Amino acid sequence: MKIRVCIPIRERSSGRAISFIKKAEKSADIIEIWLEQISDIDLKKLIKASKKPILAKGGFDLLKQAISAGARYVDLDIGERDLAKKVRLLQTLNRRAEVIVSYHNFQKTPSIDELVRTAKRVYSAGADIVKVATNIKKVSDISILLELLARMDGKKMICIGMGERGRLTRIMLSVAGSFLTYVALDSRHRTAPGQYTLKEFQKALINYSCL
């Protein structure tokens, strides 16, 4: 099974972002752009800078502009007010694009029942893809995320274990069916705890295949 790699770009200017987008497209299947970090944002140039699909991350107003400009995916936080209404609006702006709704828990991995309820609530709000990222503190946390993927079988889900103890899940969960995994260009470009760099990811893939 091929693992879909998403490389995040978090820069403060459009020029620097485009420069790193060019570097990322050699290895990425999808490129994520953190829009709120960019001071001189030019959405059309950013989205057209690569032939690879663009995943736009930011506030709702920026996501509306990004999806209209051609972003293939947009990432909306689960904490947004009127979530279902905003998901529907984004979907009407670009019928080919997909709306990801993200849930992050940087402290722990909640129980399987809590995560299932959260995921079902987000799918009910109309999300095309649900993203669940939790902090891994013990082995049983990994089992919870694997079970979550299994219970959501047939639906698109991004499932990530954060932190050093969750590193291997960034491969394991993709093999189990997670829609994508995030991989940084280098250590400076990490956007979450435990995220592999490209070099680390390539090495980890070899080690994983030997298990």
Q: What pLDDT sits at residue 207? A: 79
Q: What pLDDT sits at residue 1? A: 60
- β-pair partners for 76: 101
Euclidean distance between the first and final Cα of the chain, in Å?
Answer: 15
Contact 6, 27 (CB under 8 A): no
Q: What pLDDT sits at residue 211? A: 52
* This prediction's pTM: 0.94
Strand ordering across the sheet containing 54-57: 157-162, 129-135, 98-105, 73-77, 54-57, 30-34, 5-9, 181-182
CA atoms within 13 A on the CB side of 174: 18
Q: Could you list the pLDDT tens digit for every one of the 211 residues in the chain?
A: 689 999 999 999 999 999 999 999 999 999 999 999 899 999 999 999 999 999 999 999 999 999 999 999 999 999 999 999 999 999 999 999 999 999 999 999 999 999 999 999 999 999 999 999 999 999 999 999 999 999 998 899 999 999 999 998 999 999 999 999 999 999 999 999 999 999 999 999 887 775 5
Backbone angles phi, psi at 55, to 5 degrees: -110, 115
Largest pairwise CA distance in the chain: 47
Q: What beta strand segments (E) does 26-137 contain?
A: 30-34, 54-57, 73-77, 98-105, 129-135
Q: Which residues are catalytic?
A: 104, 131
Angle at 155 between CA 6 and CA 107, to 5 degrees: 60
Q: What pLDDT sits at residue 154? A: 82
Q: What pLDDT sits at residue 34? A: 97
